[in-house]
Amino acid sequence: MNNVADKEQKSTLTSMLRIRFKNILDPIGAFLNRLGIKPNTLTILGLVGNTFGAFFLAKGQIVLGGLMILAMGPIDALDGTMARLRGEPSKFGAFVDSVTDRYSELVIYFGLLVYFIQLGNWMNISVVYLAAAGSVLVSYTRARAESLGYDVKIGLLTRLERYFVLMPTLILNIPMVGAWLIAIFANITAIQRILYIRKQARSKLD
């Protein structure tokens, strides 16, 4: 069972990228640790940076907002790296990281919503809302399933994939392309997970 779990962990895009860039992340993480910066401090810094990025999105400065949000991306990997190098990865730290990730993602969508509300573009408002809802549901289905003892590390558009979809479209000033893709495929991912959990629940009854 542990070998299966290890293989699944290695198969996720986030885990593969952390392994691939380990030789880059570890020295940076070690340097930040020597400066006395706490992993949770870096996590909160990422949220603050994303909030500033969302502010620029709300003002219609999409490219500037996208660049600021892009700059916050490596922080998500560094806080975990720093905790691992300290030898003190904790459940609370993982909890703070996950919750902050959700806030960061939602504040970005909020920035886009404010911008399109000012324009009175209800189609775009609806699509951004669906993108936000799908993103939350992808995370919630996994969290709820794992709390019930189910494995659900599957899906077309998990958090890192959503990041890779949204960032280029913000920087290229075509945010609705990313919003449409996330609105469609994040909700498909949530449905995928619901069906996968249903299959596991039925197999346990057999």
Q: Which residues are catalytic?
A: 101
| 10-17 long-range contacts, CB within 8 A, separation 24+ | 11/153, 12/153, 12/158, 13/158, 13/160, 13/161, 14/158, 14/159, 14/160, 17/77, 17/160
In angstroms, rounded to a whole number, what is the distance separating the alpha carbons of residues 111 and 99? 19
The SS3 assignment for 41 reads helix
In angstroms, rounded to a whole number, what is the distance separating the alpha carbons of residues 132 and 146? 22
In angstroms, rounded to a whole number, what is the distance separating the alpha carbons of residues 36 and 40? 12
In angstroms, rounded to a whole number, what is the distance separating the alpha carbons of residues 145 and 195? 11
In angstroms, rounded to a whole number, what is the distance separating the alpha carbons of residues 170 and 158? 19
Q: Take residue 160 and report the two structure tokens written for it.
A: 């890192």
Q: Chain centroid to CA 114: how far?
A: 21
Phi, psi of 35 (to 5 degrees): -75, -10
